[in-house]
Amino acid sequence: MTSDTAKAPEDGTTRRSMISARELTKTFGQGETAVTALDNVDIDIRENEFFTLLGPSGCGKTTLLRLIAGFELPTSGLIQLDGQDITALPPHVRPVNTVFQNYALFPHMTVSENIGFGLKMLGKSSGEIEARVKQMLSLVQLEAMANRRTDQLSGGQQQRVALARALAPAPKVLLLDEPLAALDLKLRKNMQIELKSLQAETGITFIFVTHDQEEALTMSDRIAVMRDGQILQIGTPKEIYDKPTHRFVADFIGDINILEAQVEGTEGDQTRVRLKDGTTMLARSTGADTQGHCAVALRPESIRVAQAGDTPALTGQLENLVYMGSAHNLHLRLGSGEELVVRHGGSTEGLDLSPGAQIGVVIAPGGARVLA
């Protein structure tokens, strides 16, 4: 079971939990063929928060979303929405709406009719529907498309209609199941910014599912990294990227070097480790076991090429140099046989970057971290 520590928001405000789950488990099938999609999960998602469930396919993120929506019922556990037990409530009575990857728009209806459909099903008056649809069209900047059929729109426009339709009834929580997956890269990046702006403007709690790390880092207030039906770590994008507590989290988020090591002891809040090539160094502890075998994580950008007067922390043989536009990636082979990628953002003038060259590197303070 993994529990969110529910720290106060970094902005100093106190926000109540909008979604709380305790000991939430979902098993599909029975007997030997049973599959546990969600394994005893605890989580708190705050009001007015853009919260992302991130992980590879099959990790349980969509199952968790469907349990919150009411499309599936848990095998065991509790779900509360704004303090109310919704564990067994059917989807249509939960103050929750969902935006799906395929948008599920009605092609024979106009944009306005699609946006107003849910309001009509709720029994709202024509005047209320007209006013709310107008407000939603303005929110997603589609006023000029109000009378077009949705099959006459681009993918990005269709996604905005789906968002407007889901937001129109003013749900307490909006669930988004990889809604950007079908868009091309440039449109996808634009929609990431628009989605975050929409969340901030409406003040509605957004719960977003994705396997795209960059997408999660770009939009989220907090991220839950999932694997095998469990939550490994919850934190802000900066915490998840800079302070991963688990080897899988470090490896899944961004580029990283992971070196095998043995723990030799602790010095304050740091751990002295011995790498496979015999080099010793201090690495920041992250709650990992401080005995025996461990892994040391190093982001490529936390390592720089040693200059005159520096004492290299590590030395490796240059195998490959990759031009990245704003930087070069140096692929070094250490004496242990492990690869080390260094991101060099400065000028390469004066550096011997020929294949086989011996390159010494310096690690930024706090750049090495011990992982479970």
10 Å Cβ neighbour count for 152?
12
Evaluate the CA torsion angle 39, 195, 212, 188 in order and state its sign. Answer: positive
Identify whether the C-beta of residue 262 lies closer than 8 Å to the C-beta of residue 294.
yes
Residue with tokens 């009001």: 47
Tokens of 101: 């990857």
Identify whether the C-beta of residue 116 lies closer than 8 Å to the C-beta of residue 64.
no
Whether residues 355 and 283 share a domain: the answer is yes
**Residue where a domain terminates, one of 247, 277, 292:** 247
Whether residues 237 and 261 share a domain: the answer is no
Instruction: Write the single-letter amino acid at 323.
Output: Y
User: What are the pLDDT tens digits along the chain (372 aa)?
Assistant: 444 434 444 444 467 899 999 999 999 999 899 999 999 999 999 999 999 999 999 999 999 999 999 999 999 999 999 999 999 999 999 999 998 877 788 888 999 999 999 899 889 999 999 999 999 899 888 999 999 998 888 888 888 898 899 999 999 999 999 888 877 888 888 888 888 988 998 999 999 999 999 999 999 999 999 999 999 999 999 999 998 989 999 999 989 999 999 999 888 888 999 999 999 999 998 765 567 888 999 999 999 999 888 899 999 999 999 988 888 999 999 999 999 999 998 778 888 889 999 999 999 998 999 986
**Residue 18 has what DSSP assignment?**
E
**Residue 32 has what DSSP assignment?**
G
Q: What is the pLDDT of residue 290?
A: 62
Provide the β-strand partners of residue 371. 295
CATH for 301: 2.40.50.100
10 Å Cβ neighbour count for 45?
24
Structural domain includes residue 163 = no
Structural domain includes residue 354 = yes
End-to-end CA distance of the chain: 16
Identify whether the C-beta of residue 361 lies closer than 8 Å to the C-beta of residue 314.
yes
Q: What is the pLDDT of residue 189?
A: 87
**What is the domain range of residue 230?**
17-95+171-247
Q: Which residue pairs, CB below 8 angstroms and at least 24 apart, start in 347-356?
A: 351/305, 353/318, 353/321, 353/328, 354/318, 355/318, 355/319, 355/320, 356/317, 356/318
Identify whether the C-beta of residue 310 lies closer than 8 Å to the C-beta of residue 360.
yes
Structural domain includes residue 357 = yes
Over residues 36-66, the pLDDT tens digits come to 999 999 999 999 999 999 999 999 999 999 9
Whether residues 217 and 297 share a domain: the answer is no
Whether residues 71 and 206 share a domain: the answer is yes
Whether residues 240 and 265 share a domain: the answer is no
Whether residues 190 and 286 share a domain: the answer is no
Whether residues 61 and 80 share a domain: the answer is yes
Whether residues 276 and 367 share a domain: the answer is yes
Structural domain includes residue 307 = yes
Of 344, 49, 25, the closest CA to residue 206 belongs to: 49
Structural domain includes residue 136 = no
Structural domain includes residue 213 = yes
Question: For residue 300, what are the CA distances in angstroms to 215, 228, 297, 364?
Answer: 20, 28, 10, 10
Q: What is the pLDDT of residue 155?
A: 84
Q: Using alpha carbons only, what angle is made at residue 35 by residues 248 and 244, rounded to the nearest 5 degrees? A: 15
Over residues 239-276, the pLDDT tens digits come to 999 989 899 999 999 899 999 999 998 888 889 999 99
Whether residues 80 and 206 share a domain: the answer is yes
Structural domain includes residue 361 = yes
- Provide the domain count of the chain: 2
In what side-by-side order are the strands of the sheet with 76-81?
35-46, 17-28, 76-81, 84-85
